[in-house]
Structures are given as structure tokens and as C-alpha cells.
Structure 1
Amino acid sequence: MCRVPPLSPRTSPTISWKNCINESDPPNLQCGSIQVPVDYGKPHCEHFNLTFARIKTNGISCLGSLVYNPGGPGGAGSDVVFAHVLKGISVWSAELLAQYDLIGLDPRGTGLSNPMKCDPTIWNQRVSMTPQNEEEFNQLVENNKAFSESCRNLTGPIFDFMDTASAAKDMDMVRRALQEDKLNFLGQSYDSQLGSRYAGLFPQNIGRMVLDGITDVSLPGTAQLLIKSNTYESTLNEFFKWCNTTIQCALINQDAPGIFDKLIGTANTNPIPAPGCSPLSEHPCRSDATSEEILTEVQLGLIGFNGTVSFTGWPALSLGILEASKGNATLLSRPIITTPTSSDFSFLGVACFDCKATSISHIDLLLKRQMTSTLSPHTLGATQTYQAQAQCTGWAAPATNTNHALKPKKIAQLPELLLVNSLWDPSTSIVWANLLREQLLSARLVLRKGAGHTSYFAAGETSRAMDGFLLRGELPEQGTTFKS
């Protein structure tokens, strides 16, 4: 019988504050944790530590706390906080940090919050996500099953409750623990899904909310795949146009689309050697690269147009494509994971609980690839969405958070929100941004006329508009398109 006292709506969890790294941490850096239920359906049973990193404001007029997460799913807000404070990488504006305590949240199963642990040796096995027959499909399913069972065994009870609905309830526990009447939130990428789910559950608790790089998983899986494939393809086409206009592109004055297509075609039958890779190096990677692996790495390479905290920019991507076309895929080789707590693992941990895997044979996946290959001929549908649909087949636990409909009575209670998307984002589509705006009736949608994933870190007009809303409640006109 479970004996842990439940947390009632009238009580708040107590935050345990401590140093994040050691006693030499800067005075404005703290890490806090609270006890929250593993299963909100049984709040009197097992709890775990939900953890977050805080940058204390040095300002005079504090607006309270601003909760932040970079998305993923599986991204840890604490990682971005550490990059800003400990590595000197400027992430948030000085004005924002002068007015808010910045809370870098690690959702359940990520970062410092009971991270999902899995066997990397199973993950590193090369099993194709594009099976050509039933035998290859069964190999994929068996690998997925073995990998997810390793995750369940190593992670513990939280493995079965990594869905976004539970994470949204965790976030309200954080609000209560911080003794904030309202939640102020900046969510990027997949955490726009966390924000919209929170909005659907706790509309009365929202202060100022900005969702940057919109994901909407309310549509069926095939439609999700089509939208994701299209946004990857359109961004890659922008990359090709950019290559024709700047000496920063290693492919300038060359047929970049033709070179790319030939590379993918070649690697489909003969993996491209990656002589600079070694499983024993500081950043281990495979000794060669297949077409599906190259397509995955290229999508990641398109994320940072000018380079971000985590990704190099388009010039580096162009060099990787050029070298791979000449027989050296070192820059586009898939990393070998050596840690049991990779964010790639928690990505699947969330995705497989939020979206139901519907493929029961190799024909199901083949038909999806035929669809995306026809409509996205360069990228062939090799997206993170397809990865999830393929790798969640055979997962050790069924999806539990598949009803993403927002209730009209709840939505009617929402204050004004700000939604942001770039026109050419390889990961989050302007289609999703428009779909979410139609569901969140009080939301304003603004766009950045540019490429790359999310907009706050671009530090341009769009970022300043987000600051304007978070700091002063200033909302741009609906449909405003910023140049930077």
C-alpha cells in the first residue's frame, strides 16, 4: 500500500536549494528540487526529485520567476543556464535577467530530474529505420523493444510516466513551490507543446507565456510526418539558395542540390567512409555514414543558421556536405553515444508516450516514405518525426498522452499569449504555428523572415519583441513579420 501523503491543491512543495556544481558556483547560480508524484493518478505513491537551475536576478524591480526550457523533447533547461553562467555564452538579454529570476527547468526524465537511463550499446547498433521487408521490420521492432526495456530497467518507475501532460502538472508544482500566483514561461521547440498543454490544464495560472518554435501534435501521425518533412525540405531549399549567394558556403558556384542528391543516392547503397571518426575519440562517431544517418545530421545542421549554443552554423554544414560528396563523411557521421543518460534517449521517452506508433508492418513505413519522397524529394521524409514513428514501434510501454485536444471552456479563460516561428525552420513548421494559433484563441502569432530553429537566440527584432512582452506586456500586432 502507498503511504506517501498526497500534496493537496492547498499545499505547496518545499524547494531544497543547493549549489549546482560545487561551492565555487557564482553567487547568482542555484539549483533547486522539489518532490512531485511519479503518477498523478496516484499522488500518494512514489515521488521523485524534479530539479531546476536558477539565475538570481541582480535587478531592483523583479517580475518574479520566468520558467524556461529549450524543448527537444528531452532538453534540459539547466544545461542552457550553465552555458550562460559558467561558460559565458550569452543566451538571455541583460534586461530580462535584471527583471526575472530565470528558472531553467529539467522536465521529468531529463537532465537533473531523474534522467532516463538506457543501454547505449543497444542504441549504437546499426538497425535501419527504413526496413525494406518484413524481416528488417522485425529486426527494428526487436531492437526497439530491447532498447526500451533497458530504459525501463535502468530508469525505474518514471519511465512509464514521461508524457507531456505529467510534465505540465510538474510545472504547476514548480509555480506553487516558487510561491508565484502566475506562471511566466518561455518555451522553445517541443516545449511549445508543454506550454500549450499547461494552458489547457491551468489557464487561470498563466501570467506571460511565449512559445518560440511551435510544435502541434494534435493531428494524426501521417499528417505530422507530412508537415515535418515539408518544413525540413523547404529549409534545405533555402540553404541551397543561400549557397548561391555567399562565399561562406563551401558549395558556392556549384550545383548544391545535385551534389546533395547524388551524395544521398550513393550513401543509400554504399555508406560514405568517415576516416576522422573513432569510437575512442573525445567525440566518438561511426566509421562511415548511411544516407538515413546523413539526412538526420543535415536536419540538425540546418537548426543553427549562424550557429547557436548547441549547433554550428550553415557554413560548417556546407563543408560537411562538400567533404562527404568527395568521400569523407566525418563531419556528417552519426555520433556514438557512450553515456546512459543521453538526451536522445529522453527524446524517445517523451515522444513514445505523446504519440501512438501505428505501423504494424514494413508496408506501413514504406507507404509513409513513398509519400514523403514524392513531396520532399531531397530529404525523403527522414525527420525526427519519422524517427519517432519508427523507433516507438515495439516500445516497452504504450502511449498514454495521445488526446491533445484543448477544451474550449479552458481555452476561453486564457490571457493573451505570444507564439513565434521562423518561416524556414527545419524542425518546427509555420503550419503548426498557424494550427496552434487557431486553437489558442487569445494567442498572437508573429513570424521571423529567416531560417533556423527558434528565434529568441537570434537576438534580433523577434527576440526583442519577445522581451517586450515578457517585460512590459507589449504584444506585436497579429501576423507581424520581423526581418531578424
Structure 2
Amino acid sequence: MATSRLLRTSAAFLAATALLISGCSSGSSSPDDEASPGLTTEAGAQRPAEEATLAPLPASTPAGLRSYYDQKLTWHACGNGFQCATMKAPLDYSRPEAGDIKLAVARRKATGPGSRLGSLLVNPGGPGGSAIDYLEQYAPQPASIRARYDMAAMDPRGVDHSQPIECLSNKQMDRYTETDQTPDSPAEVNKLTTAFRDFAKGCASRSGKLLSHVSTVEAARDMDMLRAVLGDKKLNFVAASYGTFLGATYAGLYPSRVGRMVLDGAMNPELDSRTTNIEQTAGFDTAFTAFAKDCIKRKNCPLGTKSTQDAGEQLSALFKKLDAHPAATGEDRKLTESLAGTGVIAALYDQRAWPLLRDYLAQAKAGNGRGLLAFSDSYYERSPNGSYSNQMYANPAVNCLDLPPAFTSPEQVRAALPSFRKASPVFGENFAWAALNCAYWPVKPTGTAHRIEAKGAAPILVVGTTRDPATPYIWAKALASQLSSATLLTYDGDGHTAYGRGSTCIDNTINAYLLDGTVPPKHKVCK
């Protein structure tokens, strides 16, 4: 059961399923006209007419933070040409004297030839994705970029190598992921809310005071400290998915310190939690429709060959069947409706997973749930030995701190179900109930929805994919319209994010910006 939908790149999922990267052609034609940012979403939810704007922090370093900004890192070799270190930051920026948090940092020095351009920090999203693991294994690192930049990463506070949030044992997490997320009775609603409560209690007991200090604003302040410690006057940053919210937040807090910043698969900070969830639901519906259009053209499509609507109805029927009779997987765990839904959602992050998704859906219809379970495990970052990364713990910890909850009671979810079902007949109910998780969180939120303008920042490149499931294209358009110095680069294609996923046009445009500062023309579209 996904407590909230991850906003991260598909790199880890693709690596786990060993998919080949296919090429995409570039072009300059305009994509189909998309819904533009406004007061009403595609699903009928209302956006706030006006939100507060994130205000920049003072340019001078506060006296209480000078020792942190002046610290010297002790680097050591940590394999494959990387160096690792630990950076100290205040747990509570309002009371830096109250104690430290230790943050893991990694880098690979510029290889040359060519003059060094400084450090280039990367973040894969999540929230909760390990930036260090992403840098070492998956991050797009063309030789031309590696030659000129020190590639660097820091796991945000509460994530993986940086004092990770912990919540449940592995066995408890197994049971949690299997919980029915489309309850059909009061008893099942009670079981779901109990699971959310127990999850939150586990986080409170295992992670304590850290839960109050893992917000995006605090992570952005940590990034500025790292910028100074690395000796850079400006922050150069390539981020994907949730990482775009982290980067935009940095730009809003420190506009004069923005260097070259790429925000790929952008979020819209103006949206409250409920609207964010509805629009992401619509995004996954768009991605499923694209998959279904491709599938029904094939004789062996497990969802039939009639129409995308019929394909959706067949998928819903499969979920209903699994709800009543979970499928065998060849191990102790069975494929439940919840795990199957997560497996399908995971595959929609990247169209290169479509062939396997077709195979695994066919297997599930025949009573073999092993393939969809593997997809679900990849989404949850569950290892074959049954252990989980802390991604699913850090994810709600950050989300529930950044925004007030989408819903505060099951009654509110029921009232909103029609809007979610309209956004996606297949996934709407699942997403609506998943958005209830923050209602039981043990720490009150510290953030609210807001605009980010970052007036005075250097040019920022915002990248959006037209059929992105996790970060819908309308979010990229919205963020680009907010940031005073942003240019929108569009990838007319499928899947989550665009950089390093096969489009020569996208990659060349971003690399030229990173290497030469060349900003593409407005409204540039790649295929």
C-alpha cells in the first residue's frame, strides 16, 4: 500500500527490472494542447486563487550558523573514484545551539579536459530517494559533464545515509503494503485507518524528534551550507521529480546564489495536498491511457483489443478479482489487489516497462502474480531478502511536514471519491484513500502551499514531459510561469522525467545549458 505516490525518477525501477533504453527522435513540433495552469483542474478540484510567495532568506550568514558554513569536510575514498564525507548541520535552524544532524555527502572530482565549472549537485526526488546512490549508479553523467564539474550529492536529512527515518520492521512493512486500499466496508475502512495509525506510531517511536525536522525548507538550507563548504559561490543543481520542489525552494530562499539549475519533472508548489493528489491521479490515468492505446493494437494484449475504456474496465476487473482471491506468487506472499495496483503504477513510470507489464498482466489474469509482485517490490525498494530501504518512511515524513493533510477523516475521503474517480476510473479510489495517511501523522505540518518566484535568480531550466504520470505536464508549465527566470523545455513523450531517457534533443539542450549557460528558445519541444 503506497502511503503516498513517490515523486522520483524511474532509474531504480528500470535497473531492478533490467530494461533496455530505447532511442527517441527529436523534433520541434508542438505537443497536443495541454490544460494550462488556472483555478480549475482537469478533475474539477479548485486551486487556491492566490497563495503566499516564498520569501528569500537574508544574504548574510547568521552568526549562529557561521561555524557550520566554515566547517571543513574530511574526505575519504569510498569506491569507484568517489569520495565521501559527513557534514554537520543544525537539527533545528531556529535553535542551532540545540544539536546537530549528520548528513552524508559524496563527490567525484572533475576529470577534465576543460576548465572546472564548480560542483554539480544532483537529487533524484522521492522525497526519500538517496541522492548518493543515484549519483553513484543511475544519474545521467555524460562524459562532457563529468569533465567539467565535480559531481556531488547529499542525502537529505532523514534519508538513507543521513540519519534515516525508521518506522516499521520488515515483516510489519510487508503487512502494511498488503493492506486493502480500496475498502468496501466499514470494517475494511477501520483496518486501513488502523494501518495508517500504526505506521505513524512506528515512525514516532523509532525516529523521535527527527520527524519534526525533515522539511523541504530545512533540506534546502542544508544544500546552501554544502554549497559554501564545497567552496562554490553559486549552486549548480540537476534535480528530478520531487527534487524540483527542493531546487525551486532553494531558488526561492537564495535567489542570488542560483547557478545553473535543471528542474526535470517539475512540481507545482502552489497546490495544496488534495489538489496535488487529484492532479497526480489524472497524470497516472493519462499514462495508463497511453499504455492501453499501445496495448490494444497488439493481438496478445491482456486487456483486450477493443478500446482504452474497455482496457481500463478489464484492469479494474482484475483488481476486483485479486481483492477476493489474491494470486499465488511462488513464495509465502500473495499478490493482493493493493500490491497489484502498486505494481501497475510502478510500470507506468517508464514506457520501457510496457512489454513486461503486458506479460505480467497476462500472468496475473492466469493466476500467477509473481511478475506484478516484483514490480511492486521495485516500487517499495524491497530487496529479495525481505528488507526495505527507508524510502517509504522518509516519503510521508517529508510530505506530511510540508503540507497540511489532504483529508482528516474517512468521511472526507468518501465525499471526494467522485472527483478522484473522474480523474481516473481505474486508480482514483486507490489514490483517494492513500491520501488519508497524513491525517494520523504524529507531527504537525510546518509548511503550506505557496508560489515560488525567486526574483533575481540566474536562468533556470524547467523540463516537463507531456504524458508524465507522477508529475503531470501542467505542473512544469505552472512552475515555469512562477519562477521569474525560468524557461520551459518540453518533452513530447511518455514516462516520468526526460533527461537521460533517450531523447538526444533533450539531452543536448540540457548539456549545452550546463556547459555553456545556453538557454533554449522559449516553447522548445523535443520528441
Considering the TM-score relative to the shorter chain, is it more than 0.5?
yes
Shift of 1:151: 1.9
Which stretch has the larger CA shift, 471-480 or 8-17?
8-17
Q: Deviations over 1:384-410 (max 9, x none)?
A: xx465222221111111224333x5xx
Distance of 2:269 and 2:416 partners within structure 1: 17
1:11-50 to structure 2, matched below 5 A, reads: 11-20=69-78, 25-26=79-80, 28-50=81-103
Q: Deviations over 1:195-216 (max 9, x none)?
A: 1111110111100000000112
Partner residue, 1:322:
362
Distance of 1:207 and 1:372 partners within structure 2: 39
Shift of 1:79: 1.1
Distance of 1:381 and 1:427 partners within structure 2: 17
Query: Structure 1-normalised TM-score?
Result: 0.86
Aligned with 1:214 (options 246, 262, 266): 266
1:198-277 to structure 2, matched below 5 A, reads: 198-245=250-297, 258-268=310-320, 270-271=322-323, 273-277=326-330
Kept in 1: contact 2:227–2:233 (CA 8 A) = yes
Partner residue, 1:364:
412
Distance of 1:14 and 1:254 partners within structure 2: 64
Kept in 1: contact 2:296–2:304 (CA 8 A) = yes
Q: Sequence identity of aligned pairs in percent?
A: 29
Root-mean-square deviation over aligned CA pairs? 2.5
Partner residue, 1:473:
517
Distance of 1:270 and 1:314 partners within structure 2: 21
Shift of 1:77: 1.2
Partner residue, 1:179:
231
Which stretch has the larger CA shift, 137-146 or 210-219?
137-146
Partner residue, 1:373:
421
Distance of 1:273 and 1:142 partners within structure 2: 22
Partner residue, 2:4:
none
Shift of 1:109: 0.8
1:282-297 to structure 2, matched below 5 A, reads: 286-290=333-337, 292-297=338-343
Shift of 1:434: 1.3
Partner residue, 1:355:
403
Check if 1:122 corresponds to 2:122: no
Which stretch has the larger CA shift, 262-271 or 186-195?
262-271
- Number of residue-to-residue matches in the alignment: 451
Partner residue, 1:81:
135
1:413-432 to structure 2, matched below 5 A, reads: 413-432=456-475
Kept in 1: contact 2:303–2:310 (CA 8 A) = no
1:430 partner letter: Y
Shift of 1:332: 1.6
1:378-457 to structure 2, matched below 5 A, reads: 378-380=426-428, 382-383=430-431, 386=432, 389-406=435-452, 411-457=454-500
Shift of 1:220: 2.5
Q: 1:277 to 1:185 in 2, by over 3 A?
A: farther
Query: Structure 2-normalised TM-score?
Result: 0.79
Kept in 1: contact 2:234–2:257 (CA 8 A) = yes
Aligned with 1:93 (options 142, 145, 165): 142
Structure 2: 5+ residue stretches without partners: 1-62
Higher RCO (C-alpha under 8 Å, 6+ residues apart): 2
2:143 partner letter: A
Distance of 1:405 and 1:341 partners within structure 2: 32
Shift of 1:377: 1.7
Aligned with 1:63 (options 95, 112, 117): 117
Q: Any idea what SS the aligned residue of 1:458 has? A: coil
Q: 1:157 to 1:341 in 2, by over 3 A?
A: farther
Distance of 2:370 and 2:394 partners within structure 1: 26
2:159 partner letter: T
Distance of 1:119 and 1:246 partners within structure 2: 43
Structure 1: 5+ residue stretches without partners: 85-89, 280-285, 307-312
Q: 1:179 to 1:230 in 2, by over 3 A?
A: same
Distance of 2:288 and 2:152 partners within structure 1: 34
Shift of 1:42: 1.0
Q: Any idea what SS the aligned residue of 1:186 has? A: strand
Kept in 1: contact 2:456–2:484 (CA 8 A) = no
Q: Deviations over 1:286-307 (max 9, x none)?
A: 31221x432322121011222x
Kept in 2: contact 1:164–1:350 (CA 8 A) = yes
Aligned with 2:247 (options 195, 201, 212): 195
Q: Deviations over 1:97-131 (max 9, x none)?
A: 11111112211111211111121333332433344
Aligned with 1:106 (options 136, 150, 155): 155
Shift of 1:352: 1.2
1:361 partner letter: S
Distance of 1:173 and 1:63 partners within structure 2: 19
Q: 1:248 to 1:114 in 2, by over 3 A?
A: farther
Q: 1:17 to 1:249 in 2, by over 3 A?
A: farther
